[in-house]
Amino acid sequence: MSTLASNLGKVAVLMGGRSAEREVSLMSGQGVLNALQAQGVDAHAFDPSERDLAELKNDGFERCFIALHGRFGEDGTVQGALELLGIPYTGSGVMASSIAIDKTMTKRVWIAEGVPTPAYTLVRRDQWRELNEEALVAKLGLPMIVKPASEGSSIGVFKVTSAAELPAALAQAAACDADILCEQFIAGDEVTCPVLGEGDEAQALPVIRIVAPEGNYDYQHKYFTNDTQYLVPCGLPAGEEQAIQALVLKAYRVLGCKGWGRVDVMIDAATRQPYLLEINTSPGMTGHSLVPMSARAAGITYEALCVQLLRSAGLEHAVQGGTAA
C-alpha cells in the first residue's frame, strides 16, 4: 500500500443509489473506485439501492467515499445513517447536506447572509394549477427558469420564454418534486467554482466558464456530448475571478459545508454582478465533471483529489472510541 493510502483502512465507495441521478452516480463512483484502487486503497463498490447500509459495519468498512448524487445520497439521509453507524464519510454533514439539496432553503440562508442569488418564487406541487401566472411574470420577468427545488444535473429544468409555456414547465417540474422553484433568469456568463476544505481553511479552486450550445447546459450536454466548452483559465476580466471565488467561499461557509462542494454562478452580462444559483455538496466525478477539471488546473490530479477527499472523511458527532478522522 502506498504512503498516500496508509491508515485509510477498508473503504466503501457509495455509488448508484435511488435518485434520478443514479446513472451519473454510477459513473462518478466507478471513476473514484478506479482512482483509489490505483493508489493502493482497499476500496470497494457499494450500492445502497442493492445492499443495506448496516452491511457497511458488518463488513468492516472504516470509511465511506460518498459518490451518490441527489436524494438519498446528497440530502443528509445517508450522512445521518453513517453518523449512527459511526463510519466517517466524505463531504458535508447532515445539516449542510439537507439545506444544500433544497435550492429554496439554500437561497433563504444566502439572502439572510447577503449572498446575491436570483429572485424567486416557491410553488407547491398542489398549488401550481391555481398560480397567478401574470403576477409571477410581473415579479420574475421573462424568460424565467422553472425547476424542481431538490433535483440536480439539470433534471426537470426549463427556460420559460412566454407565459403560455408556464403550465407545461410547472407540470413537468412537479413530476420531479413537491416543491417547484421559479427563478429570475440571469443572462450572461455561466461559471462554476469548486471548493475544497472546511471553515477558514477552505479554498476555492479555479473558476470554470461554461459555454454550451445555444446556452443550453442541460443533462445531455453535461454528461453525454462533447459540444460544451469548459474554459479554465476562465478568461474573465481581471479581478472578477477572485471576486467570485471570495463570494463562493462565503456561500460555502455560511451553509456549514465541508470536504468539498461546487457552486454554480451566473454573471449578469450588463452589470457583471455574479448571482449564485445553487451548491452541490457531492459533485460529479465523471470524465465530464467539473471539480476534477478545475483541480487539474490547480495542479491536483484526479487520483490525488480522490485520496485527499477520502483522507478528509469524518463524523460530525464522533463518539468516544470512534473512528472519526
Q: What is the pLDDT along the chain (325 residues), one digit of tens a residue?
A: 455 566 899 999 999 999 888 999 999 999 999 999 999 999 999 999 999 999 999 999 999 999 999 889 999 999 999 999 999 999 999 999 999 999 999 999 999 999 999 999 999 988 888 889 899 999 999 999 999 888 655 677 899 999 999 999 999 988 888 899 999 999 999 999 999 999 999 999 999 999 987 655 444 544 455 678 999 999 998 799 999 999 999 999 999 999 999 999 999 999 999 999 999 999 999 978 999 999 999 999 999 999 999 999 999 986 544 444 4
Global confidence as pTM = 0.91
The grid cell for 45 is: 463498490
Active site members: 21, 153, 223, 262, 264, 278, 280, 284
User: Tens digit of pLDDT for each residue in 84-107?
Assistant: 999 999 999 999 999 999 999 999
DSSP track, 13-52:
EE---SSTTHHHHHHHHHHHHHHHHHTT-EEEEE-TTTS-
Q: What is each CA distance from 299 to 36, 266, 295, 296, 304, in whole angstroms?
A: 18, 26, 6, 5, 10
- At 130, is the secondary structure helix, strand, or coil? helix
- What pLDDT score was predicted for residue 80? 98
- Give me the CATH topology for the region 120-184: Dna Ligase; domain 1 (3.30.1490)
The DSSP 8-state label assigned to residue 205 in this structure reads P
Residues 217, 145: Cα–Cα separation, whole Å = 13
- Give me the CATH topology for the region 98-116+186-304: D-amino Acid Aminotransferase; Chain A, domain 1 (3.30.470)
- What pLDDT score was predicted for residue 233? 96
Nearest Cα neighbor of 140 from 121, 116, 164 is 121
- What pLDDT score was predicted for residue 313? 97
- What pLDDT score was predicted for residue 3? 53
DSSP helix, strand, coil percent of the chain (3-state; round to 5) = 35, 20, 45
Residues 119, 285: Cα–Cα separation, whole Å = 30
Q: What is each CA distance from 213 to 126, 222, 230, 240, in whole angstroms?
A: 34, 11, 12, 24
Domain segments of the chain: what residues? 10-91, 98-116+186-304, 120-184
Residues 267, 12: Cα–Cα separation, whole Å = 38
- What pLDDT score was predicted for residue 7? 83
Prior bond to 143 cis, omega within 30?
yes
- Read off the amino acid at residue 203: Q
Q: Name every residue whose Cβ is closer than 8 Å to that of residue 179 and which is 6 or more positions away in sequence.
A: 102, 104, 122, 123, 124, 125, 148, 149, 150
Give me the phi and psi of 117, to 5 degrees please.
-145, 150
CATH C-level class of 10-91 = alpha beta
The DSSP 8-state label assigned to residue 187 in this structure reads -
